[in-house]
Structures are given as structure tokens and as C-alpha cells.
Structure 1
């Protein structure tokens, strides 16, 4: 139980590093969806499309080396060799991408249907983000969550501050000061969004330069081959995951009529953000458990702890699902600036459940990571991506963004189930399926009733939430006492 307490402490700090920046980024949603900032919902759709491509290229530039770093950092005696090899190869690949991308920027702009000026900014951001992958992984591996959290929060704080300054105040300052007039350009709002991102990424990299100054640049070809072999399936899984995560925006843009496509993307992307409450929790949990999985894989009976971890995750996830659904219409007023975006609120419960399934999948993925069967992660993620692509192609022409939400849920639910059944065969873990099913089932049923049948009836919704919390307390009070009991 003490190891679980340590895990939860780390997860809490990683949660701060994830939740606080994302909460700050919610303010960006509020800012970008304000009708006084961007001219239309379609403009926000364009920004969302660019960030959809961001996710894909971030995965490609990492090519699974972060997960490989954790695997070999915990298993190799010579940790300097792992750090040095990982760092050197990421520097080389990132700089190679940077040069090739700038040489081909016009072709990239043509293929993505984006302006070259946006592409150039994006290339710089991708370079800076790639160069902090190993430094951040090193902080997690060395169990320095506070430093990790501070840097992550600072990154978003700089981004947010610059967005506010550039989008809200620069124009007014330029009209009264010749100094600020130098930096202001009319109709440059989308550029300003990416310039803010670029400066924030540059500041983060600058603060991580001491990592590059103090490590030993030990390079091993044999170790690199093993790391790349381990990382390749992770890369495939990551590409597939990025398709599941963001490609629906691209397909909405391509499959819907041109006169409504970007508007639909804008509405969908804005309401999608409300589902990020589940993503925040799942991401924080994943950041905490991934090093834990590897570091405790050789301890006595790790399967018991892995099973308990999933139970706690499902309990917390169920509470988050029901809470966000009950208060969804309050949250939309707080975080989405214009009523024009609210037409897509239907997708919120569907996407919350989708990310709940994804979080469970990440918990279940322990079996293939610690048994070096990462190829199964690739298989499962590719299967999910195929479902995403197929259902989007089938459903979008008929029901628009609702089809994209259904496709996302279908993909993540299928990945969750596949990982569970494969795990039973290759690395059996005694999950309490009945209890997990009870919590999930209750929260899903109550969420459906609250949102689709009693939406706006807060007495009913809050009553269901209280009943659910009461059930959790009754069933888990002994576990909770054990968890908080001092050793």
C-alpha cells in the first residue's frame, strides 16, 4: 500500500503539471472562441486543423523514444549510456527534420492546404518541442515531478500571457505607440496564436539547457538498435493514436461541404475541449503510472498492485464522467465564449466516455510494455485507427460531427477490450471485473439519463451524483481508510 501512496503523490504532482496548464489552456479556448478575437467559427476551425497536424508530427518526431527511454533506463546498469544515446539520436533526427521541412515548406503547405507562413512557425515549434522530449522523460524517470510540473505550467503560462497580449492589447497599444506599431499587423490573429506558442516552446527549451550541459554524451550503436526495435511499435501505436485523437477534424474538413466544413470543425473542436476534463485525469494518471509500471515490474506480486490501480482509476473516472455531464451546460458558459459553438454539445458525454475508455486502456497496457510485447500496442492502436477512419467516412456525410464522436468512442472502447483480452493471455492480472463493471455501468446510465433526458434539471442530476458517491463510499470505505492510514 505504501508504494500505491507514493504513486498517488506523484500522480497528484503530475496532475498539477497536466491539469493546471490545461486549465490555463481552457482560457485560450475562451479567448479564441470570443467573437471579438477571431472573425468566425470557421477561423477557429482553421486553428484546430493546424493543431490536429501538430499532434501527428509530434508523435513522428518522438518515434517512441520516450517509452523506450523508460524501459532501458530502468533495466540497464549504465544509465548514462541510455541518457546519452537517447539525447544524441533525438538531436540528430530533430535537426534533420528541421532542415528537410524548411526545404519542403511549400510542398507541405500545398498538401495540408495551409499558408506557408503558418508552416514555417509550426516547423520551429516542432523542433523545440522535440528537443525537450528526453529532458522531460529524464525528470520523470528521476522522480522529479515538481520540476517537471513547474516547467510545464510555465510553458502554458507564457503561451497564455502572450495570447492575451497579442490578441487583446497589441492593437490598442500600436495605435498609441510607435514602438508597438512595429509588432502589430492587421488580420494577423492566427499567426499571433502560433507566435505565442513558439515563444513558449523556446522558453521551455532554454530552461532545460542545463540538462544538455551536465549529461554525459555516451553513444552506443548496439543500445540504439535495441531501443529503436523497442520503440518502433510504439511509434506505430502513436501514429495510430494521433489518428484517433485528431484526424476527425481533418476528415470533417474534407468530407463535409466546403461552405460548412470549417464551421463544423470549429464547433466540434470547441465542445471537444469540455471532454478534456477526463483527458486531464487520464493523462496525469498515465504520467504517474508509466514509470511505476517499469520500476515495480520485478517486485513481489506486482499484478495485485496493477489491479488495484485500475480499480482506483475507474472509481475516479466514473465520478469525473458523471460530474462533468451533470454540469456540462454550466461549463460551456464558462469555457466557450460564443453561443454559436454550443450546437455541438451533444458530443460531450460521448467523448467523455471515449476518453474514460482510453484511460482504462492505458492502465491495461502494462502487460505489453513490461513484457516487451510493444508490437501488440501497435496492433491494437492500428485497429482503433482503422475503426476511426472507417466510421468517420461512413457517418460524417450523414450526421456530421456526431459521427466523429461516435467513431472516437468506438475506437477507444474496442482498444480497451482488445488490450484486456490479450492481457489475460500473456500477463494475467486479477482485475475485479464485476466491481469495475458496476462503477462504469452506473456512471454511464446516470450520465445518459442526466444529459439526454433530464438536462438542465440540476436537482435530479446532483441527486444522482450524490447517490453514486454514496455507493462508492459504502463499497470502498475500508480501502480508503487503508490508503490514508499512516504507516
Structure 2
């Protein structure tokens, strides 16, 4: 089986581990946006702001150790030493954070303007999530995608089930049963959402406890220092990425008038979810390619495989971009149930394209990870974060969430271009720019026409989609035949 075919197989399973849980959690969006479940659009905005802080602190608590783990697991001969060092490091740092956060939870609540009862739950969830980082990384490194997938799916299935119970069933049970009446409290919907997250995170930790039981607890201070030096730029890049990804909700909350801020955030966050299809594809692809990049770095001429990987990513991503844009108005009643949120539909093509650029950036980032120049990843992400912050701060008061959507697109597009520019200098990869550019320009152009000029004209939109699919299949027919025939693409 060729290296690329092996990649596609792992990507499919990791994709299953990502897509199915995300699709299960995706059901929470129509649940939260159904009239009467949450008290208002503003309540959903409040949930979105808290989850934005989740993203930021998850990155801080991981501090790049997951990527460092992959790098040194494939580089060092003593695998147990790498696993033990990374695990002990994260274990100690996670509990140090947990103790400090609990001690200062009141001050944190005042500073970020969130009720302390939510802060307490968030602290526990962050601890539990941090403790499964290395076990999940180990499953990927040891090529155990099925185990990884099953636990991930169970996590979100429990989360979804508890959300349905707390927000729908519990209310009905409380009406007819005095026992449940003592559990159910009106206006506690946001609290219940985080209780569901806490339970699902706790169950996930229980499912990976065997990793901690079998672990050889060896800590190498020299190796740890080397891993930290490698990981630190990843941390900076991760913080910058979290700013690009979710900090706009926090800025909207801070910069818009208090009487409309959470409502605007609620509309924006709900319609943002329609772009989830591109995020799912990019995430699944990234989960598959990251171990592949490291494990094939020392093979003969890996650059040809890397080039072909990006070409396939752009081809598939372009089809997803155009498909979601064409059918966005068909999808919206199923994903965002209440019309009160639909005002923000304008952002959907912008966010789809932004996440597409981010996916391309992740593919291009192989050069600085393979050459141990992770500081460039930090520099590029910092530039993206500065752009995100600048556009949001300057334009939010005038354009609200539209400024946030455009800021995300501009930041990711510039990061993509910068990564290509520096990669060409330090680790040249023979990308087929003509074909990649053709797919990208055609899909973007057709998407703009379909959504902003011929919206809900499905004869035009579907025709564009069929034409584009024909172009992609014609261009990639030889490679697709080789994959299906189990022949090597690169010999």
C-alpha cells in the first residue's frame, strides 16, 4: 500500500472520529437555536463567549506539547522516555493551573465578566481535557485510529445526550414529577450546558486511564528542556491561532453596546456554524497528515508526496466550499432553527473561505515542523493575530460581526501566503500552483456569484457545481485511478 493510500485510510478514520462527533455536537446548534430552549439569542451569545475562553485556555494548557510529542516520538529511539516526559510535564502543569484557578476564581470571574458558577465548571473541564492530550496523541502515534475514534465519539454522544436531557426532557419531567422538579431550575440552561460538558470530559478521562496505568513514569529533564524549546513557538502560534479563531466573540462582547452585544454574538456564532463543514474537513485532514509528515520526513523525496497532498486538499476543499455556498439557504433551517439568527447569514461564504485558507496553511506548515523552525509558525500566527485584532478593534463598532468575519478571512489568507513564501525558501516543495490556483479561483469566483448575485437560484448554483466537479474529476482522473488501483502515485 502506498504512503498516500495509507494516509487516506488514516485520514478517513480520523475524519470519522472528528466528523461524527462534530456532527453529533452539530445537533446542539439547532437545539440551542430552537425558540424556547434558551431564553433568547443573547443567551446563546453568552455560551459562545465562554466557549471562546475555552479555546484559548485549552491551547495554553497544552503549550505545544502534543506537537512536540509527535516530533520526538518519531525522532528518539527511547519512545517510553518521550511518552513519560511529556505526560508528567502536562500532569504537573495541569494540576498547578487547576489549584491556582480555583484559588482565584472570584477574581477571574470579575476580570472576564462571567458568573463565578460558570468559571468553577470551566476550570474542572479544562483540567479533565488537559489530562487526555497525551493519551490521544499516543493513540495517533501508535496508529490506533479506531480506539481514538470510539472514545471521541462517545465523548460527544454523552455530551449531546445530557444536553437533550437537561434542556428538553428534564423540563417536561419536572412538570409531572416532584423529584425532577427539585433538579430542574428555570434560567439554569447555560449552567446545564456546562454540566453536560463536565460529565462527558470526566467519562473520557476514565476511558483513557489504562494509558496512565501502563505508562512507564520516566522523566528526562534534558529531553524535557529540548521538547519545551520546540513546543514554545507552537504555544505562541496556538495562542495566536485561538485569537484568530474565537477572540472576535470576546471583542464583540467588549466593544459593542451592552444591550446588543450578546445578541449580535449569538447571531454571528450560530451562522458561523454553517461553515463547520469546511472546518470538519480541514481538521480531519490535519489529524491524518501531522503524523504522516513526521514519519515520512526521512523517506526518499517526501516533497513530491507533500505536494500531491496539498493538491488533493485544495481540490476536495474547493468542492466543499462551492457546495455549502450553493445550498446554504437550504441548510440554514435545519442548522439554525430560529429566524432570529438568520440576519448573520452574510458571513457564511466569508467564514467558509477563511477556514479553507486555514486548511491550506496547515498543509503548507509542514516545512517549519520538519525543519524544526517552529518559530516561523509562531511569527506567522502572531502576524495573523495582530491583523485579526486590528481589523476587529477598528471596525467592530461600525460593522459589528461583519468586520469579525472579514478579519478572519484576511488573517488566514495572509498566513497562508506567508507560509508558502518562507517554505519556498527553507524547504522547497514542488506544488502545482497552476492547478491549485485554478481550483481556488474557480471555486471562489463561482461561490461569490452564487451567493451574492444569484442567491437561491439553484439552477445557476447547481450548474456551477456540476461544471466545477467535471473540471476536478478531469484534472485528477489519472491520480484517482492510481489510488483506486492501489498503485503508488510517487515512485
Q: Could you say whether these structures have the same fold, taking a TM-score greater than 0.5 normalized by the shorter chain as the test?
A: yes
What secondary structure, in the 3-state scheme, does the structure 2 residue paired with 1:345 have?
helix
Quick one: distance in 2 between partners of 1:452 and 1:25? 29
Query: 5+ unaligned residues in a row in structure 1: which ranges?
Result: none
- State the Cα deviation string for residues 222-260 of structure 1 (Å, max 9, x = none): 010000000000000000000000000011111111111
- What does residue range 89-238 of structure 1 map to in structure 2 within 5 Å? 89-238=89-238
- State the Cα deviation string for residues 46-75 of structure 1 (Å, max 9, x = none): 000000000000000000000000000000
* 2:340 paired residue number: 340
* 1:325 paired residue number: 325
Quick one: distance in 1 between partners of 2:228 and 2:444? 40
Displacement of 1:85: 0.6
- State the Cα deviation string for residues 182-236 of structure 1 (Å, max 9, x = none): 4222211000000000000000000000000011011100010000000000000
Displacement of 1:329: 0.4
- State the Cα deviation string for residues 155-184 of structure 1 (Å, max 9, x = none): 000000000000001122123223323422
Contact 2:5–2:486 (CA under 8 A) maintained in structure 1: no
* 2:457 paired residue number: 457
- State the Cα deviation string for residues 289-325 of structure 1 (Å, max 9, x = none): 0000000000000000000000000000000000000
* 1:75 paired residue number: 75
What secondary structure, in the 3-state scheme, does the structure 2 residue paired with 1:186 have?
coil
What secondary structure, in the 3-state scheme, does the structure 1 residue paired with 2:392 have?
helix
Contact 2:33–2:337 (CA under 8 A) maintained in structure 1: yes
Quick one: distance in 1 between partners of 2:30 and 2:13? 26
* 1:283 paired residue number: 283
Displacement of 1:470: 0.5
What secondary structure, in the 3-state scheme, does the structure 2 residue paired with 1:346 have?
helix
* 1:361 paired residue number: 361
* 1:30 paired residue number: 30
What secondary structure, in the 3-state scheme, does the structure 1 residue paired with 2:183 have?
coil
Quick one: distance in 2 between partners of 1:390 and 1:100? 32
* 1:387 paired residue number: 387
Asked if 1:476 is matched to 2:476, the reply is: yes
Range that drifts further, 193-202 or 395-404: 395-404
What secondary structure, in the 3-state scheme, does the structure 2 residue paired with 1:439 have?
helix
Quick one: distance in 2 between partners of 1:218 and 1:177? 54
Quick one: distance in 2 between partners of 1:334 and 1:343? 16
Residues paired across the two proteins, number: 487
Report the RMSD for the aligned CA atoms in angstroms.
0.8
Displacement of 1:286: 0.3
* 1:270 paired residue number: 270
Contact 2:310–2:360 (CA under 8 A) maintained in structure 1: yes
Quick one: distance in 1 between partners of 2:454 and 2:20? 31
Contact 2:270–2:341 (CA under 8 A) maintained in structure 1: yes
Quick one: distance in 2 between partners of 1:104 and 1:375? 32
What secondary structure, in the 3-state scheme, does the structure 2 residue paired with 1:114 have?
coil
- State the Cα deviation string for residues 75-130 of structure 1 (Å, max 9, x = none): 00000000001111111010111100000000110011000000000000000000
Quick one: distance in 2 between partners of 1:171 and 1:450? 43
What secondary structure, in the 3-state scheme, does the structure 1 residue paired with 2:456 have?
coil
* 1:306 paired residue number: 306
Quick one: distance in 2 between partners of 1:107 and 1:8? 48
- Report the TM-score, using the length of structure 2 for normalisation: 0.98
Quick one: distance in 1 between partners of 2:195 and 2:422? 45
- State the Cα deviation string for residues 447-477 of structure 1 (Å, max 9, x = none): 0000000001111100000000001111111
Quick one: distance in 2 between partners of 1:476 and 1:103? 58
Contact 2:39–2:187 (CA under 8 A) maintained in structure 1: no
Contact 2:2–2:486 (CA under 8 A) maintained in structure 1: no
Asked if 1:242 is matched to 2:242, the reply is: yes
Quick one: distance in 1 between partners of 2:483 and 2:234? 33
Quick one: distance in 2 between partners of 1:174 and 1:211? 41
Asked if 1:415 is matched to 2:446, the reply is: no
What secondary structure, in the 3-state scheme, does the structure 1 residue paired with 2:420 have?
helix
Displacement of 1:134: 0.2
* 1:257 paired residue number: 257
Displacement of 1:486: 2.9
- Report the TM-score, using the length of structure 1 for normalisation: 0.99
Range that drifts further, 381-390 or 28-37: 28-37
Misfit runs of 4+, over 4 Å: none
What secondary structure, in the 3-state scheme, does the structure 1 residue paired with 2:67 have?
helix
